Structure 1
Amino acid sequence: MRYFIELSYFGKNYHGWQNQPHSISVQEVLETNLSKLFPQKIEITGAGRTDAGVHASQMFAHFDSSEEIDLEVMQYKLNSMLPKDIAIADIYPVKDDAHARFDATSRSYEYHIVQQKDVFSIDTAWYFRHDLNIDLMNTAAEKLLKYTNFKCFSKSRTDVFTYNCRIDRAEWVNENGKLIFHITADRFLRNMVRAIVGTLLEIGQEKKPVSYIDEVIKSEDRGMAGTSVPGHALYLTKITYPKNIRFN
């Protein structure tokens, strides 16, 4: 039987989601604790990868088990065993061919910026003190929706077969004193959101014109785009799946 796990995590203490040979990851911690509840080692497959320090308010992963599971008890036990920065929101059965990564239809991220020094957001938002023209940043962000090839925002050494993504939303919003960039797409490339934010910040500082976003994307050159912003202010916030994925 295949099961989906819905979870959240605070990424400060982890070298990203995916297992690493010499660094601690969220996947490793979850697999280690989940395996303690079964007679065999459990391997999980995540909906995607988040970089070191990046947070997730909603993440999904799947695992298989032939054991009969009391899902409510398992969720309680797993939350009791996991460290305080990883929390399980739900565990539920899905169809045998359901896949946490490949069946996801959209993913949403937020990037949080504060423009006044705030000791309470040291690990949750990036302090960026420079003046920004939000209107210019949103005009440039809207241009992202008309493109599909985002090679210019991807890490150069990556194992993807295509750089195509469909972006459905890209918008800066001022929320309770924070400047938050919202972006939703069917998929994301490694480092993509952080590189987009870095590029839009250059436009917001009026170092580059709005048309620069077109030049960067058409170039397909990572060197043309802005610097990747720090990971500690980035959040994976939502992943959507088809409604019929659950086991009936």
Structure 2
Amino acid sequence: MSKSLLPSEPPPPYEDEPGSNAQKTSASGTSGARRAPPGPPPLLNLPALNTLRRERVVLASASPRRRQLLAQIGLTNIDVCPSKFAEDLPHELGALNYVLETASAKAQEVYRREIDNTERGEPAIIISADTIIVSHAGRILEKPRGEQDHINMLKMLRDQVEHKVMTAVVVMKPLESAVEPGYRMETHVEETTVKFDAHVTDELILAYVRTRDGNDKAGGYGIQTAGSILIEKIEGAYDNVVGLPLRSTLRLIEKVMEPEEDELGGDMFVEEEDEE
């Protein structure tokens, strides 16, 4: 992943830093503040992230949006290994179990394939995610199968007004110990409520569908692109609708990166299935 995804301009100074507008107009022109260093803003200085920037971080997804989101917390050297899991679990599982089991199966499939990679080495962590749309009536929506399916999907979301976006995130770390199953896995499911504009016309839906912007996205729209014209408001995390809730992902990363010895005497393989 190119580091061009990170800001390249220097961060703006505080008002009391030398070189700021406030300093230029100050009568005294003196300040004890330290001048901001030249170059791009520094990366988040967190122990888990600092370690992972030197290690192999595997993303079990081909989604460019998830790579871009991970770049926002400074994880730019991502090894993309899309999962080969068929994603064919029955919808009868219910939305929460469906999305969580799908994301977990993606991580496990990539783990089995990459754990003995002699060329690139063992992953430090594996990150997987699965995003679904759940209509107001409880129907799980996947990516549209064709243009007419795409149109019908967006009309349904408009007419039902509100729906939920659910993303399951799984962070897995292979363990040095030989204890089964050989990894530690932390999970989380994030929910965001999205309200479509009830006044969106059929003509606007057709025009959007023909941009092909949403044909590769669950629910058939992208909030970060032209699909935002369909949306009146959201309740919850914006980046969850994009495809990866960063706040929760960082929390899982920090949890799974805790030293193994801190978990002695407890169950280090318990999965957290909390929902917000």
TM-score scaled by length of structure 2 = 0.25
Higher strand share: 1
TM-score scaled by length of structure 1 = 0.27
Larger relative contact order (C-alpha < 8 A, sep ≥ 6)? 1
- Which entry has the higher C-alpha Rg, 1 or 2? 2
Higher helix share: 2
